[in-house]
Amino acid sequence: MVKYAILGFGVVGRGLAEVMADQREKLAAAAGEDMELGYILVRHDYPAGPFQDKLIRDFSLIENDPSVAVVAEVIGGTDAAYEYSRRALMAGKSVVSSNKQLVAEHGAELAALAREHGVSYLFEGSVGGGIPLLRPLCRCLAANRIDEICGILNGTTNYILTAMAQKGQAYADALKTAQQLGYAEADPTADVEGIDACRKTAILADLAFGVNVDPADIPTRGITAVAPADLELAQALDGAVKLLGRAARAGEAVCAFVEPHFIPQGHILASVNGVMNGCAIRGSAVGEVVLCGPGAGSHPTASAVAADVADAVRHRADPMIPDLGAPGGRLLPADELCSRWYVRAQCGPEAVSAAFPGAEPVYGSTGECGFVTAAMLDRRQLEKKLAAVNGRAAYRVLA
């Protein structure tokens, strides 16, 4: 019998305590021994509940208890979460986390600390919530050179874009509904500006390409400028607009970026709707694999974190530490990637054919048109032509 501790008793922390209790026997089989909840670290009082006797406020009780083998950090942010993760690892305890900001910004350093102290550092819940994504990428696809990963990695923005497309809602109205349903925070900046997707893209790039990418270096554009007309025109062009995080191999370098894309209906990601997430991985042997599922939520995320707790216990003699890569990798500017483009413009069909020969515009209810260009090597080439058609928006087309 070993003990585990939970840091933070919010959406994921409470879900983790519940899932670990509900599936205690199954998880014990996965871990190879029974696991008991030792402590839940909190910073204020909670109304009486089933885990009341586990709540503590002093981290040193966890740090100094030799029977605690695993610490689940589900606090979020990089302040207390970083400090407690370091102290737990230095005390010889495995750490598991759903905190993408911490993993994206300090994961390589924490992984090195785990290596030094012979313990595991796992973070399956940090990308894709409940979708098994990082383990398949690192282990099940070990026989592949990964060429590209691209995903709908943020449920809030996917909910908003789906509501705009399916209900014809304006951005502000869709955001308000997302907040009322608990899908978006009161301050939605990290989601709608693409920051959350950027952190997850950085983690995926680290694991796929062995280069530790600084999320601050990933060009990131969110969904605040996506207009209802884009969703309407995309549908008329047999596609959908989605926010994608992409990371691709480009020779010796890596190209990573987050921005809205036009996805043709033929691609599975075009039909990943609402709060669902989906991630396509292109490998040299397997081709394209797409993993879809709930990218957030209390029990879905706890499902991933609980499995990490069990794996960390099972691997006490042989720690699991995914390789987040070496720092200093070069990120190639996304502008140099060859892409077709979806364009929304205000002009007649003649102007479209003059600037973009072969493009076939469709017209929407605002009088604007949408069309898809031929492949272009350089974004600057596109920018020059956009002026000729009074271009209002341009999104890459997912090939």
Ligand X SMILES: NC(=O)c1ccc[n+]([C@@H]2O[C@H](COP(=O)([O-])OP(=O)(O)OC[C@H]3O[C@@H](n4cnc5c(N)ncnc54)[C@H](OP(=O)(O)O)[C@@H]3O)[C@@H](O)[C@H]2O)c1
| Sheet bearing 287-294, strands edge to edge | 287-294, 276-283, 146-152, 239-250, 253-264, 391-397, 341-345, 369-372, 362-363
Report, in Å, the least distance between residue 397 CB and ligand X: 29
Q: Could you tell me if 121 and 114 are in contact, meaning their C-beta atoms sit under 8 angstroms apart? A: yes
Give the separation between CA 164 and CA 187, rounded to whole angstroms.
Answer: 20
Is residue 200 flagged as an active site residue?
Answer: yes
Between 283 and 294, name the residue whose CB sits nearer to ligand X: 294
Long-range Cβ pairs for the range 139-143 (8 Å, 24+) = 141/281, 141/283, 141/286, 141/289, 143/283, 143/285
Between 40 and 331, name the residue whose CB sits nearer to ligand X: 40
Q: Which of 3, 100, 200, 242 is catalytic?
A: 200
Give the separation between CA 390 and CA 386, rounded to whole angstroms.
Answer: 6
Interface residues toward ligand X, by CB under 6 A: 8-13, 41-44, 74-76, 80, 98-100, 125, 129, 296-297, 301
Between 98 and 339, name the residue whose CB sits nearer to ligand X: 98
Report, in Å, the least distance between residue 75 CB and ligand X: 4
Q: Are strands 68-73 and 94-97 parallel, antiparallel or unpaired?
A: parallel
Between 279 and 359, name the residue whose CB sits nearer to ligand X: 279
Report, in Å, the least distance between residue 331 CB and ligand X: 24
Q: Could you tell me if 221 and 258 are in contact, meaning their C-beta atoms sit under 8 angstroms apart? A: yes
Between 25 and 43, name the residue whose CB sits nearer to ligand X: 43
- What's the Cα-to-Cα distance from 163 to each of 175, 187, 239, 242, 266, rounded to whole Å? 9, 19, 15, 12, 21
Between 76 and 239, name the residue whose CB sits nearer to ligand X: 76
Between 10 and 168, name the residue whose CB sits nearer to ligand X: 10
Give the separation between CA 370 and CA 344, rounded to whole angstroms.
Answer: 4
Residue sitting closest to ligand X (CB): 10
Between 133 and 237, name the residue whose CB sits nearer to ligand X: 133
Report, in Å, the least distance between residue 150 CB and ligand X: 19
Structure tokens at 29: 């089989």
Report, in Å, the least distance between residue 85 CB and ligand X: 11
Nearest to 355 by CA among 374, 338, 337, 336: 374
Report, in Å, the least distance between residue 130 CB and ligand X: 8
Report, in Å, the least distance between residue 33 CB and ligand X: 26
Report, in Å, the least distance between residue 155 CB and ligand X: 8
Q: Which residues are catalytic?
A: 200
